[in-house]
Amino acid sequence: MELFKIILFEYLLGYALQGFIIVLGIYAFNRKRIEVKSYVLTSLLTIIVSFLVRMLPISFGVHTILNMLFLFLICIMFLKMPGFSTIRSALLVTVILLVSEMANVAVVISIIGKAKFENQMLFSSNRAIIGLPGALFFAVLIILAYYFSNYRLRGRNGIDGKMGEENC
């Protein structure tokens, strides 16, 4: 049962949800509509790369920088997004993710206390469950950003959602 919880919460709701939402954030902040096939493939590649980077024996924080670098390269190569706006988007998505996680930790510590929080973080399945509200908050923020960026595009340039460089 413990293995099932780890797979469900850490991998499916952790890596997978985060990977799909991060790529959605790149689309949102690049003001680009989702092309389902490209979105799914890019998200899956991002999830795999992120998982592999997190398995490396490196200092905390270095994996975040490496994941941003790979995310940038993946979006440039596979989604054919412009470099500058993709760098900006990757940084913005990463900041939103980190703020969501910090807010989640602050709320959880205020509810259960620091000692109990540290004890719960020793177990992988508990870490994933504790991180779920932060991941959901991150998802809501990115989904709203995507919705409003595309709503704004429809209102400004008609129904196709294409945007010229002068509007960026």
Between 8 and 148, where is the model more confident?
Answer: 148
Contact 125, 3 (CB under 8 A): no
The mean of the pLDDT values for the chain is 85
Asked whether the predicted pLDDT for residue 159 surpasses 60, the reply is no
| pLDDT higher than threshold 90 for residue 1 | no
The predicted pLDDT at position 7 comes to: 64
DSSP structure class, residue 168: -
Closest to 73 in 3D by CA, of 54, 89, 86: 86
DSSP assignment string, 124-138: HHHHHHHHHHHHHHH
